[in-house]
Structure 1
Amino acid sequence: MAVTVAGVVGGRMIGGVGWLDGALGAAKVVGSNNLRRLIVPGLLAALVLGCSYALTSIPRSLPRRLSAKLSTQLAALDYTHANALRISSEVRRALKYPADNLRVGLQRSVEQLQGKREETSKIKTESEVARKYFSNLLRESHDIRHRVERVDLDGPAPGVAASYDF
Structure 2
Amino acid sequence: MTGGAWTEMAAGSAVAFTALLFAQAALHKLTDFTAFTGYVADYRVVPESWSRPAAGVALGLELLTVAALVVPGGQAAGSLLAIALLLGYAAAIGINVARGRDRIECGCGGAVQPLGPALVVRNLGLAGIAAFGLGTVPGSLLAPEALTALLVGVTLWIGYALVDQLLANAAHLRRRA
TM-score (norm 2): 0.24
TM-score (norm 1): 0.26
Instruction: Flag the structure with higher helix content.
Output: 1
Greater length-normalized contact order (CA 8 Å, ≥ 6 residues apart): 2
